[in-house]
Structure 1
């Protein structure tokens, strides 16, 4: 019996697709057109028929739903790699916060949560915003808000976050992944504590890797993000708790606001650090 093009060229077709860890529907459609151009499949082969043939050969489908939109990826790999899957979800994205530390083998904190960030295409300028103590107190008396851009897959929770444009400052390559550096992850975590249990857990994580932190780089990252809130003094508070001396943190102290600030929102009870003017 005469074999069809797909069956006859099966090895070349599968090798082409297996070169990718995960593929989107759009990428599979592009590959189908390329295969047609090379006469490796029939020019009349539809996408649905092509997909069914691949599924018959072991192609696996994985999906999550983010803000009502289904993101489906395809792979021949039998061992599901959550990082490879998440790496395929958004162009120009990177792993951030505790996930960045975990990938770099600096931590194993909350490994079930996978944080993927993408910077805005244009920077949101804060302008001349005037903060008052009342503004801060009101904001931090409320329950913290979290993104609704998340879904569960294979015992993991994938969380997509958006960051202000910094030209991906201190986003580095590590083992084939784009990740926040340890210094950027520090800033991300202290400013997004609502995803990380508590300020105490952040201190615990970074106390173990204190020698990896660079104070000048952390300072520059906070400058790059151009926050409204007084995060220089918050960073100073955390860094002293982690083990740095006040004498090492002068540049953070010099940027201290006249206003009191908080480590996290809506705690039942706060202590107050007079030096850094931070409730914790």
Structure 2
């Protein structure tokens, strides 16, 4: 690589990156910039993408972030600096924040979770398909076992960052909205709506601090959630298990209007169900055909 040419072009390169709308860049975006601007910057053809990045990392404000998730390493580049939430969204296309992280963004928890939850929608999972057979025995067996919890996480600073594989829902209920991180920095984020968040944490309370935190989220969402939207989402998601019975129980426990609760009661209740996995001491709520923790 001709150091002279890239050194001469450095002020133009820096100016270009300074004016980019986003400070977080995927590797392919940096490579595309080199391809598009190579002629204008008069860089030699042997200035490969790897050498270009190496030069910027050493001689400019470009930084590389690498997150070594067990399933696959993900990385991105940051020009100067950016909040962690923005960096994480830049790791892959169409990621969104979910579960406890979405709860916090919507003000549905008083906690400051030490885990951050990102979801990457993949191909449809068995659990979300009504084509799969279900039986009472199968439900009983499944919920006597511990809840599945992803091991696809890394530690970063004082946070545990989960990259979850989500079912392919067509990004149902995923919205773009300003979020504030713990430092107070504002980030234009992609996250689940209040309605989708309540559904997700009902399905996976393990990613939301447990059933008591989920119950509190339903109470805190009371004046802002649309139960019509929530029920419509439940029907589109077509879960194998009757999670709507758990949703209805949470709504009733949080004293929602009877007209709102009735929207969920209209859905069929063919099976006994469970509020969470591996509950030891339980009671049975007949009206929702639901096993819940004793005293809950």
The change in CA–CA distance for 1:201 and 1:84 in structure 2 (over 3 A counts) is same
The change in CA–CA distance for 1:135 and 1:213 in structure 2 (over 3 A counts) is same
**TM-score when scaled to structure 1?**
0.88
- The equivalent position to 2:91 in structure 1, one of 89, 92, 98, is 89
Question: Which whole-Å deviations, capped at 9, do the CAs of 1:5-43 have from their partners, x for residues lacking one?
Answer: 322222321233342322233222222222312234333
- The equivalent position to 1:262 in structure 2, one of 250, 261, 274, is 274
Give the aligned partner of residue 185 of structure 2: none
Give, in whole Å, the separation in 2 of the partners of 1:251 and 1:66. Answer: 41
Kindly state the Cα deviation for residue 266 of structure 1 after the two structures are TM-superposed: 0.8
Give the aligned partner of residue 138 of structure 2: 135
The change in CA–CA distance for 1:148 and 1:256 in structure 2 (over 3 A counts) is same
Q: Which ranges of structure 2 fall in alignment gaps of 5 or more residues?
A: 179-187
Kindly state the Cα deviation for residue 106 of structure 1 after the two structures are TM-superposed: 4.7
For the pair 1:222 / 2:224, whether they are aligned, the reply is no
**TM-score when scaled to structure 2?**
0.84
Q: Which ranges of structure 1 fall in alignment gaps of 5 or more residues?
A: none
Structural mapping, 1:1-280, within 5 Å: 4-18=4-18, 19=20, 20-56=22-58, 57-78=60-81, 80-107=82-109, 109-120=111-122, 126-175=129-178, 176-280=188-292
Question: Which whole-Å deviations, capped at 9, do the CAs of 1:38-67 have from their partners, x for residues lacking one?
Answer: 234333323343223212223222111223
Give the aligned partner of residue 183 of structure 2: none
Is the 8 Å Cα contact of residues 104 and 174 (structure 1) preserved in structure 2?
no
Kindly state the Cα deviation for residue 273 of structure 1 after the two structures are TM-superposed: 1.5
Is the 8 Å Cα contact of residues 272 and 290 (structure 2) preserved in structure 1?
yes
Q: Calculate the aligned-residue CA RMSD, in Å.
A: 2.5
Kindly state the Cα deviation for residue 108 of structure 1 after the two structures are TM-superposed: 5.2
Question: Which whole-Å deviations, capped at 9, do the CAs of 1:150-178 have from their partners, x for residues lacking one?
Answer: 22212222222233333222221102322
Is the 8 Å Cα contact of residues 103 and 217 (structure 2) preserved in structure 1?
no
Bigger CA drift: 184-193 or 88-97?
88-97
Give, in whole Å, the separation in 2 of the partners of 1:17 and 1:235. Answer: 47
Give, in whole Å, the separation in 2 of the partners of 1:138 and 1:58. Answer: 54
Give, in whole Å, the separation in 1 of the partners of 2:200 and 2:16. Answer: 38
SS of residue matched to 1:160 = strand
Give, in whole Å, the separation in 2 of the partners of 1:64 and 1:73. Answer: 9
